[in-house]
Structure 1
Amino acid sequence: MDGLVMAGQLILGLSILVSLHEFGHYITAKWFKMRVDKFYLFFDFLFPVPTVLNFALFKKKIGDTEYGLGWFPLGGYVSIAGMIDETQDASKLSAIPEPWEFRGKPAWQRLIVMLGGIIVNVILGVAIYFGINYKTGNNYIAKDELNKNGIYAGSLAQEVGFKTGDKVLKVNGKDFKEYSEIGGAILDDDVSYTVERAGKTIEVVIPSDFLNKLSDQKDQFIQPLYPFKIAQVTEPKKPSLLSKLFGKSVPEDLPAYKVGLKAGDKIVSMNGHPVFFYQLLKDSLTKYAGKNVAFGIERQGKVDTINMTVTKEGKLGFAAERIIKFSHEDYTIGQAFVMGATDAFDVVVKNVKGFKKIFAGDVRADKALSGPFEIAEMYGAHWDWLNFWTLTGLLSMALAFMNLLPIPALDGGHALFLLYEIITGRPPSEKVLERAQQVGTVILLALMVFVLGNGAFKAFFK
């Protein structure tokens, strides 16, 4: 069921993005009175070969345009008469451009049509982030709150020089307002943090290949140290029908459920040693895996000692509620729009920084590029509309950025040839455009195979 929820969110999110992207091409083509032959969500052929397995799950012709739902669930397309793209080649075009064809229009109009999808994705991204900012405002952990207890340094953070309890004073030599700015700086060049440790100021410098290691680490690299209480106890799983039929064993009840812990309880000690922070409890549980431990449990102001045997995985079986103060700022409509635009274009800035690090050799492509498996995991196993729209807004801006890249099969590649035509006053030949389209399609196909294969490997073998 969890997989279905993740897949459902991924399909809905991508369907919204692709439909509106193609609508951008469609509406600008219609605006300039170009004939649009097809408007499809998903491909009605085996991408990238337009002549193989041609059929649609649904189609209806209205006027000159056939609207449909393809069978190949990867993207979608608009087929504009007289345009060389993934749906047609130069051999299908007549020698003399018709007035309603893409190639029969001025270069500046064709440039707007090619950028129409990117423009709509940017508008969508800004609109989503505007809505989120206006609805939720800004909820954040302030610098003072972060440094009240100091940070928790994971194993990778410790490797580069952090220690649990450090107080972060500056990021790249500058003061900061909120905790999220610490992680946001990782993509910068020459990243460094100024920290206070035992009354001394220390500089922690991040190595250039750090992102490769960070992508392999599931836990956050730096977290606020936070006190906690039990939010929910994991209840035993009921045996499924299949497990009953095949006599499979049912997982044992977890320790917290066995001893009757409840939401609101606090774990205050382990074998007589005080427990203040959740992350340090997790580290201790790992060390005591499989062993019987005396826990001090506080309930309604009274502390009792309860013995529990930690599982072999180092767990007790509960979800924690962080006891940490979040700061909040409400935004006016104007402020929400400015912050929405800032957040949206920050996605583009981070994409540019990410590609720069890939080309510089600081980050491996298989570590940096995410495919559908990873994106589905980001949407999550539970339907959370705030998370759904936040991620969809991010993907909308990422899609706009990717389509702007000067690869022939992408909108940016078409736009590059149109800019050449506007500057020189003459278009490239149709054969050049066709060959460029073929080369670009091969590049995209290779990238798609790499991303899908890499994502599948991560999902099934790691």
Structure 2
Amino acid sequence: MDIVIKLSQFLLSLSLLIILHELGHFIPAKLFKTRVEKFYLFFDVKYSLLKKKIGETEYGIGWLPLGGYVKISGMIDESMDKEQMALPPQPWEFRSKPAWQRLIIMLGGVTVNFILAFIIYIGMAFVYGETYVANADLKDGVLIENPAMIKAGFKTGDKIISIDGQSIANFDNDLNIKIILAKEIVVERNGQQQTIKIPTDLADQLSKYKKGNLVGMRMPFAVANITEGSENTALKPKDLFVSINGKDARYYDQVKTILEVNKGKTLPAVVLRDLKQVPVTVKVSSEGKLGVAVGGLNMESLEKLGYYKISTKNYNLLESVPVGLTRGKDQLVSYGKQLKMIFNPETKAYKSVGGFAAIFNVFPSTWSWEAFWTITAFLSIMLGVMNLLPIPALDGGHVMFLLYEIISGKKPSDKFLENAQMVGFVLLIGLLLFANGNDIYKAIVK
């Protein structure tokens, strides 16, 4: 059932993005009286799952879910329709239109992608508001588990003060990305501030480890239930450790460390039970375990227990606009930096590039509209930026040649554009194979 939910969200998000992107090409093409022969969701290699011709345009759904397309008459695209291009230009064809009109048609898809992302962020600000934990309220610092982060110089309990000179106000989902893109981070450790220089290849190092938070919130060791056969029957569900063997044990990472160095021992402990501190004795197994399941506390419970203060901001529609626009701008700048990092060989970030499996795995296994729209907005920005890359066969490649034509007054020959399209197509196939090959490598080798 989990995989069905993930797949449903993946296909719905992908379909929405493709249809709206292609609609961005379709609408200006029709406005400029350019004939659109096909409008397809997914690719119809050899055959279509569904198709219907309305007017001069065939609408359909292909069987290969790797994208979608609109086929515009008189345009050198992935169809490589040389027969049509060999005929004299017709008034309704793309090649017969002024360069500025062709430029608008080509920029339509990415324009819709960016507009969609900003609209989603505005809508999310209005519907969900903003929930966060103020960085100042993380009194005991953050949780660091990933070996690459530890190797870089971070420790659990560090308080992140600033990233590249910018003060961190809130602990949120964007913090991890900011750390990966950072050059230096100032943390407070044991009351003293120190600067950590971020390794150039941190992204590559992080991709080598599946487990461990980049930066996480420290959680208490809350007993969910006692496993069958456990010797620690003195413990009860919802108990929270306060101390073990006289040492502070408010957090799971502290309990784990204490148990690891006291395997096979019986230790005095104090737990919080019904808001009262209760002394108990716990037996540590030879594996450093207590024989209990951990968890069962939500953020509301953590706030009531005094671990964290959850802050929420609600916005009316007018207030949501600047909040959403700022969020969209930040995500756009962030993705631009990520892309720059990927193309920088020194960072080795290209090793962490993923394909369709990586995108699929981003979606949660339980249905969440908030998560769905958050991911869809980011994917829309990603699709827009990727399509603007100056690679023939992408929108950015067409735009590059159109700008050359507008500036120089000289139009590249159809033969040149056909060859460029073929080179771009081969390059895209190579990138596609590399990204999805990375997914397969990670699944098998790692």
TM-score by length of 1: 0.84
Whether contact under 8 Å (1:286, 1:315) holds in the other structure is no
Cα deviation, 1:404-425, whole Å, max 9, x if unaligned, reads: 0000010000111111111122
CA distance in 2, matches of 1:288, 1:32: 76
5+ long unaligned stretches in structure 2:
303-307
5+ long unaligned stretches in structure 1:
46-53, 235-252
1:119–1:229 CA distance, 2 compared to 1 (3 A): same
Please state how far the C-alpha of 1:131 moved relative to its aligned partner. 1.0
1:221 aligns with 2:230: no
Whether contact under 8 Å (1:42, 1:73) holds in the other structure is yes
CA distance in 2, matches of 1:123, 1:288: 57
1:185 aligns with 2:185: no
CA distance in 2, matches of 1:136, 1:288: 45
Q: Which residue in 2 is equivalent to 1:156? A: 148
Q: 1:370 aligns with which of 337, 351, 354?
A: 354
Alignment of 1:250-399 (within 5 A): 264-270=238-244, 273-284=247-258, 297-300=271-274, 301=276, 303=278, 304-305=280-281, 307=283, 316-321=292-297, 323=302, 324-399=308-383
Whether contact under 8 Å (1:296, 1:306) holds in the other structure is no
Q: Which amino acid in structure 1 is aligned with residue 206 of structure 2? A: L
1:105–1:419 CA distance, 2 compared to 1 (3 A): same
Whether contact under 8 Å (2:232, 2:290) holds in the other structure is no
Whether contact under 8 Å (1:153, 1:164) holds in the other structure is yes
Whether contact under 8 Å (2:266, 2:281) holds in the other structure is no
Report the more deviating stretch, 309-318 or 444-453: 309-318
Q: 1:70 aligns with which of 62, 70, 76?
A: 62
Q: Which residue in 2 is equivalent to 1:56? A: 48
Please state how far the C-alpha of 1:58 moved relative to its aligned partner. 0.7
Whether contact under 8 Å (1:102, 1:110) holds in the other structure is yes
Please state how far the C-alpha of 1:282 moved relative to its aligned partner. 4.3
Please state how far the C-alpha of 1:160 moved relative to its aligned partner. 2.1
Q: Which residue in 2 is equivalent to 1:247? A: none
CA distance in 1, matches of 2:7, 2:266: 41
Q: Which residue in 1 is equivalent to 2:20? A: 20
* Corresponding residue SS for 1:170: strand
Cα deviation, 1:245-270, whole Å, max 9, x if unaligned, reads: xxxxxxxx677899697763323444
TM-score by length of 2: 0.87
Q: Which amino acid in structure 2 is aligned with residue 277 of structure 1? A: Y
1:114 aligns with 2:119: no
CA distance in 2, matches of 1:257, 1:44: 62
Please state how far the C-alpha of 1:312 moved relative to its aligned partner. 8.8
1:374–1:157 CA distance, 2 compared to 1 (3 A): same
Please state how far the C-alpha of 1:311 moved relative to its aligned partner. 7.2
Whether contact under 8 Å (2:187, 2:193) holds in the other structure is yes
CA distance in 1, matches of 2:190, 2:55: 75
Q: Which residue in 2 is equivalent to 1:244? A: none
Seq. identity, %: 41
Whether contact under 8 Å (1:373, 1:459) holds in the other structure is no
Cα deviation, 1:285-320, whole Å, max 9, x if unaligned, reads: 66678x687675543236344657587999843335
Please state how far the C-alpha of 1:134 moved relative to its aligned partner. 1.4
Cα deviation, 1:133-177, whole Å, max 9, x if unaligned, reads: 11122212212102x112333343332223333333332233331
* Corresponding residue SS for 2:380: helix
Q: Which residue in 2 is equivalent to 1:44? A: 44
Whether contact under 8 Å (1:421, 1:428) holds in the other structure is yes
CA distance in 1, matches of 2:7, 2:288: 32
CA distance in 2, matches of 1:389, 1:255: 45
Q: Which residue in 1 is equivalent to 2:388? A: 404
Please state how far the C-alpha of 1:216 moved relative to its aligned partner. 2.8
Please state how far the C-alpha of 1:283 moved relative to its aligned partner. 4.7
